[in-house]
Chain A
Amino acid sequence: MSVRPDVGLERLIHGLEQELLEAADEEFMAGAHDLGMNPQTKGSAAFVGVKDFSPQLLSALRRAYQERLDRTPRDDADA
Chain B
Amino acid sequence: MEIVKGYVKKVKAGELAPMQLPAARALAMKLVTDCDLLRLKVIARLHGRSLPPDISWADLLQEAFARVLDGSRAIPPDVPPVAFLAGVMRSIKAEHWRRRRRATAQQPVLATEYQLVAPETAEACDPQPDPERWLIAAQQLEAIGTLFAQDAGALQIISGLGDGLTAEEIRRALGMSKTDYDSARKRMRRALIRAGLTMGVKQ
Same complex: yes
Question: Which residues of A line the B interface, CB within 8 A?
Answer: 1-6, 8-17, 19-21, 23, 25, 27-32, 34-35, 37, 39-40, 45-58, 61-62, 64-65, 68
Asked whether B3 is an interface residue with its Cβ less than 8 Å from the other chain, the reply is yes
Task: In the A-B complex, list the 8 residue pairs whose CB atoms are closest, starting with the nearest.
Answer: A15-B161, A31-B193, A54-B58, A5-B137, A49-B58, A1-B162, A6-B137, A9-B137
What bracket does the count of chain B residues touching chain A fall in? 35 or more
- B residues 129-150 with Cβ under 8 Å of A? 129-130, 133-134, 136-138, 140-141, 144
Q: If A10-B50, A28-B193, A39-B34 touch, does A1 touch B159 (CB 8 Å cutoff)?
A: yes
Please measure, in the bound complex, the distance between the C-alpha atom of A27 and the C-alpha atom of B164, giving whole angstroms.
Answer: 25
A28 to chain B, nearest CB (A): 4
On chain A, the residues within 8 Å of B59 by CB distance are 54, 56
Question: Which residues of B line the A interface, CB within 8 A?
Answer: 1, 3-4, 6-7, 10, 21, 23-24, 27, 34-35, 37-43, 46-47, 49-50, 56-59, 61-62, 82-83, 86, 90, 129-130, 133-134, 136-138, 140-141, 144, 158-164, 185-186, 188-190, 192-194, 196-199, 201
A15 to chain B, nearest CB (A): 3
User: In the complex the two chains form, is B38's CB within 8 Å of A34's CB?
Assistant: no
Q: If A15-B161, A28-B42, A50-B23 touch, does A9 touch B141 (CB 8 Å cutoff)?
A: yes
On chain A, the residues within 8 Å of B7 by CB distance are 61, 64-65, 68
User: In the complex the two chains form, is A20's CB within 8 Å of B189's CB?
Assistant: yes
On chain A, the residues within 8 Å of B144 by CB distance are 12
User: In the complex the two chains form, is B83's CB within 8 Å of A32's CB?
Assistant: no
Please measure, in the bound complex, the distance between the C-alpha atom of A15 and the C-alpha atom of B186, giving whole angstroms.
Answer: 14
A14 to chain B, nearest CB (A): 8
On chain B, the residues within 8 Å of A12 by CB distance are 141, 144, 158, 161-162
Q: If A28-B35, A29-B35 touch, does A35 touch B134 (CB 8 Å cutoff)?
A: no
Q: If A21-B82, A25-B35 touch, does A2 touch B198 (CB 8 Å cutoff)?
A: no
Could you list 17 examples of A-B contacts with CB < 8 Å?
A2-B163, A3-B164, A6-B50, A9-B140, A13-B50, A16-B46, A16-B161, A20-B193, A21-B86, A23-B39, A47-B34, A50-B21, A50-B37, A51-B23, A51-B24, A57-B21, A65-B6
User: In the complex the two chains form, is A62's CB within 8 Å of B4's CB?
Assistant: yes
On chain A, the residues within 8 Å of B196 by CB distance are 31
B93 to chain A, nearest CB (A): 9
User: In the complex the two chains form, is A27's CB within 8 Å of B3's CB?
Assistant: no
B21 to chain A, nearest CB (A): 6
